Amino acid sequence: MDYKPHLIEKKWQKAWYENDAFKAIDFDERPKYYALVEFPYPSGDGLHVGHIRAYTSLEIIARKRRMEGYNVLFPIGFDAFGLPTENYAIKEKIHPRKVTDANIKVFTKQLQRVGFSFDFSRVVDTTDPEYFRWTQWIFIQLYKKGLAYRSKTYVNFCPSCKVVLSNEESQGGHCDRCDSTVEQKEKEVWFLKITEYAERLLEGLETLETLPRIRLEQENWIGRSEGAHIIFDVLGTESRLEVFTTRPDTLFGATFMVIAPEHPLIDAQAEQITNLAAVRHYQQSARLKTEFERTQLIKDKTGLKLDGLMAENPGTGEPIPIFVADYVMMGYGTGAIMAVPGHDERDYDFAKAHDLPIVEVIAGGDIKQAAYTDTETGILINSGFMNGLSVDAAIDAMIKHLEKTERGHRAVNFKMKDWAFNRQRYWGEPIPIIHCQDGTMVPVDEADLPVTLPEVEAFEPTDSGESPLANIKAFTDVSCPTCGEMARRETDTMPQWAGSSWYFLRYTDPHNNTQLADLEKLKYWLPVDWYNGGMEHVTRHVIYSRFWNQFLYDIGAVPVSEPYKKRTAQGLILGVDGDKMSKSKGNVVNPVEIIEHYGADTLRLYILFIGDYEQPTPWNDSGVKGARRFLDKVWRLYDHVDDQVETEAHERLLHQTIDAVDKDIEHVKFNTAIAKLMTLVNELSKAETIAKDTYITLLKLLNPFAPHIAEELYARLGHKETLVHASFPKADPDKMTERNVTVVISVNGKVRDKMTVAKDLDDEALKALVFDNERVHKFLGEDAPKRIIIVKNKLVNIVV
RNA sequence: GCCUGGGUGGCGGAAUUGGUAGACGCGUUGGACUUAAAAUCCAAUGGCAGUAAUGCCGUGCCGGUUCGAGUCCGGCCCUAGGUACCA
């Protein structure tokens, strides 16, 4: 009988899912293993081959761990709030709730057709009020601790999507989704004070097992730098300018100051500024510049002197001018800098453009030509008490001096900014805050959670950039929980990152309706042993969710400070043409079609065989056939199973394969693991008969990759129980070792011949054999060997 | 610009601490089976020269270390991703 995947796959999926074969058991005595994959956004397009690649890695691990005797939690859910659903709903005039439910149904069905061993009894859906009740609850806790606040800022506004975008969503000055040019709009919005956790988020990385580049990306995102805060008096006023600098040693070379266009000093000392009109004009034009213009490669150092104001350099005591220039950002440090043109390239450019004095305070360069920024060998000059010191020593000396004279102090600064936590759309979690008439903000009573979305017909955003919720009186009009007066509900919703920042906690106790998850269950399951997801989520999502977890740990809601032990990221699957898959390019591969044509086992196998898991790699239609052929071979092998005892050669290869497959799986080298299974099957296929035990071992090794065919053949051998909890094979080192080895003979480093000799043959005996070799004589000729290098069981190299 | 990956046959990709370059798969070619095709099986398959044995050349480029380099060192080039006037 032929291999008919569509028949056996349906049969086994039914058997697994109807019998809860993959159910994770709370508090079970077996060791636990928590394997987590990033939950999908259930788009209308259904499952993508990228999803399959993202999940199959931990699918293999989860299936292997169950066979190794672990109590495995391998959950799945849906990150279902978000713009595509909302936009689709607006276009088709269907409620986003209906769209979401339909999409989740399709996704679930498709995931099951692949045969993923998820525990479907623990599915979470971020748009389920029973879920986002706790998202809102967490927000309230953050608010109570002062970690959620409102602030007026300029936000990136997309005039086409009518939505406020984060910096990340408006990179290059264009909207992430529709590509329109982003405008700057002043607005009061919500922020989460993630900066308060910056140091801990950095420290916690030490316990996270991951690729160096993944760790580095997070470190760069957090962007810690050490230096000092220095206070400059603004002469003749009460105002002071505080700056952050990593180079306090260069203070004596600070010949002017620069503040960001948004800096409050301008308003505070407006009356002193004699060219105020021009300054106002400069501020205006800076605001109109898009992010793109402000950061594009041609970085003209525009700027304007604040006439009428001077600052005092606390090092030299000299008065120095103050400029406003848009190369200084309000969002980093204090929004003001001390400019040291001699030793900073940007300040150098600005000084040259505005004809300002350049003072050399670090010897070693030529400041007539360029700023000198070498901190390794530079020696301080023109710097009073620091003269003659190295840069390192001078930094230290200056900080001590500043602290003694109370002109400044040692400081650490972070590039990471507070998390803009808002969206002006319908399809998101309402922020559970009530604005009382008297101007105060009151969190919604926890007993009144969840704040649900009103049932409405229209969820289009308003032209003003306000959430569509702002127009719905039934939603906005409430009485204040503290004073009972008329009040108005917050109408902003949370960004999509909210629900995904804690979903891994909910999986441990998904149906709890008194708390986000039971602490004992969290204690049992956490931390996540292995988390896999996209490279693109390696910074923001991982940092955001670690932040929430650390906060929840601080308030005692979660038992561990760091939620993840290990993080991996799969590479992209590209189209056949090597480009990113996209509808517009028409190079999207639909996994369901592959399943219909070849079967789910073939799809799983091929996607893992396609290349290095962590590297991007193009799809290849005929490559899929190879995976199918391999399964056909495994199927046909069944007819050759016999009750004989296995030959020694087969046994050796089998144990070598067990060992290699085991190691390759753990090292995320699924492609080579499969290659080794193929080698084994090729070898077994050559024999007339193979032993039943050998075949069973093969099926067990294959089971994590292609579980349907493995189960079917295993059952046909007469087994009543499934392979789900069958024991995973263990390699026996004694049965792995070869009796003979091939030794390479080379002359002057060039391979000339090979010999098969007994393993661990001693050097003298080996030498004798080598000098008996005809080809060696040919290549040696008359020359006497100068040196002989022997690498045991590997090679002999003769140097002449 | 800076940071991090990656450049290996016609293609996807393998190669412990430096020690047989090209595992495995695809494709291609030839053969077997078949009325025929598909499927399957067998064989060959880095390049050049040669009837062959065999020899020479080959892991982005240039140079170095070494008995020996895809692997280590120095200097470039290309490419993908991240980040960007970060003080």
ipTM reported for the complex, 2 dp: 0.94
* Polymer length of chain A: 800
What is the rounded distance in angstroms from the CA atom of residue A106 to the CA atom of residue A542? 27
Taking the C1' atom of every nucleotide in all shown strands and the CA of A326, the nearest one is B85
**What pLDDT, on the 0 to 100 scale, is given for residue A498?**
95
pLDDT at A171 over 70: no
Show the DSSP H helices in A380-538 as ranges.
391-405, 473-476, 497-500, 503-506, 519-525
Through-space separation of residue A536 CA and nucleotide B64 C1' in angstroms: 39
| pLDDT tier for residue A169 given thresholds of 50, 70 and 90 | low
Reply yes or no: is the peptide bond before residue A450 cis, omega within 30 of 0: yes
Least confident range from A152-156, A247-251, A453-457, A723-727: namely: A152-156
What is the rounded distance in angstroms from the CA atom of residue A97 to the CA atom of residue A100? 5
Report the pLDDT averaged over residues A30-52.
95
Query: Does residue A615 lie within 7 Å of nucleic acid chain B, judged by its CB?
Result: yes
Query: Does residue A584 lie within 7 Å of nucleic acid chain B, judged by its CB?
Result: no
The residues of A between 683 and 702 with beta carbon within 7 Å of nucleic strand B are 685-686
Contact call for residues A326 and A286 (beta carbons, < 8 A): yes
Contact call for residues A619 and A690 (beta carbons, < 8 A): no
Looking at residue A242, what DSSP letter applies? E
Least confident range from A110-119, A244-253, A478-487, A759-768: namely: A759-768
For tokens 């953050």, what's the residue?
A142
Residues 6+ positions from A123 with CB-CB distance below 8 Å:
A75, A76, A77, A78, A108, A510
Q: Which residue is nearest to nucleotide B68 (CA to C1')?
A: A749
**What pLDDT, on the 0 to 100 scale, is given for residue A170?**
61
The residues of A between 309 and 348 with beta carbon within 7 Å of nucleic strand B are 326-333, 335, 337-338, 344, 346
What is the rounded distance in angstroms from the CA atom of residue A320 to the CA atom of residue A243? 14
**What pLDDT, on the 0 to 100 scale, is given for residue A297?**
47
Q: How far apart are the first and last CA of chain A?
A: 63
Query: Does residue A167 lie within 7 Å of nucleic acid chain B, judged by its CB?
Result: yes
**SS3 state at A284:** helix
> What is the gyration radius of the CA atoms in chain A, in angstroms?
33
Nearest in space to A528 (alpha carbons), one of A217, A218, A208: A208
Mean pLDDT of chain A: 90
Least confident range from A55-59, A293-297, A312-316, A720-724: namely: A293-297
pLDDT at A770 over 90: no
Q: What is the pLDDT of residues A406-442, one digit of tens each?
A: 999 999 999 998 998 988 889 999 999 999 988 899 9
Token couple for A192: 């989460």
What is the rounded distance in angstroms from the CA atom of residue A349 to the CA atom of residue A121? 62
Query: Does residue A752 lie within 7 Å of nucleic acid chain B, judged by its CB?
Result: yes
Q: What is the pLDDT of residues A656-665, one digit of tens each?
A: 999 999 999 9
At A438, the amino acid letter reads D
pLDDT at A223 over 60: yes
The residues of A between 518 and 577 with beta carbon within 7 Å of nucleic strand B are 535-536, 539
Through-space separation of residue A682 CA and nucleotide B30 C1' in angstroms: 22
Helix axes A591-598, A5-18, angle to 10 degrees: 110
Through-space separation of residue A543 CA and nucleotide B35 C1' in angstroms: 69
**What pLDDT, on the 0 to 100 scale, is given for residue A254?**
95
Through-space separation of residue A797 CA and nucleotide B72 C1' in angstroms: 20
Question: For chain B, which bases have at least one atom within 7 A of a protein Cβ?
Answer: 3-6, 11-15, 19-21, 23-27, 39-42, 55-56, 67-69, 80-87
What is the rounded distance in angstroms from the CA atom of residue A159 to the CA atom of residue A177? 12
Residue A739: φ, ψ to 5°: -80, -40
Nearest in space to A289 (alpha carbons), one of A325, A322, A258: A325
Query: Does residue A245 lie within 7 Å of nucleic acid chain B, judged by its CB?
Result: yes
Through-space separation of residue A795 CA and nucleotide B50 C1' in angstroms: 30
- DSSP letter for each residue of A440-451: -EEEPPGGG---
**What pLDDT, on the 0 to 100 scale, is given for residue A384?**
92
pLDDT at A183 over 80: no
pTM as predicted: 0.92
Query: Does residue A46 lie within 7 Å of nucleic acid chain B, judged by its CB?
Result: no
Interior CA angle at A338 toward A332 and A344, to 5°? Answer: 85
| pLDDT tier for residue A1 given thresholds of 50, 70 and 90 | confident
- DSSP letter for each residue of A119-186: -GGG-EETTSHHHHHHHHHHHHHHHHTT-EEEEEEEEEEETTTTEEE-GGGGGGGB-TTT-PBPEEEE
Token couple for A748: 């002057």
The residues of A between 20 and 39 with beta carbon within 7 Å of nucleic strand B are none
Report the pLDDT averaged over residues A765-775.
78
pLDDT at A517 over 70: yes
Q: What is the pLDDT of residues A83-109, one digit of tens each?
A: 888 888 888 889 999 999 999 999 999
Through-space separation of residue A611 CA and nucleotide B8 C1' in angstroms: 14
**SS3 state at A245:** strand
Q: What is the pLDDT of residues A608-626, one digit of tens each?
A: 999 999 999 999 988 999 9
Taking the C1' atom of every nucleotide in all shown strands and the CA of A750, the nearest one is B68
What is the rounded distance in angstroms from the CA atom of residue A507 to the CA atom of residue A122? 6
Q: What is the pLDDT of residues A449-469, one digit of tens each?
A: 899 999 887 777 676 777 888
Query: Does residue A10 lie within 7 Å of nucleic acid chain B, judged by its CB?
Result: no
Q: What is the pLDDT of residues A111-138, one digit of tens each?
A: 999 999 999 999 999 999 999 999 999 9
pLDDT at A2 over 90: no
Percentage of residues in chain A having pLDDT higher than 70: 95
What is the rounded distance in angstroms from the CA atom of residue A737 to the CA atom of residue A730? 15
**What pLDDT, on the 0 to 100 scale, is given for residue A501?**
96
**What pLDDT, on the 0 to 100 scale, is given for residue A172?**
57
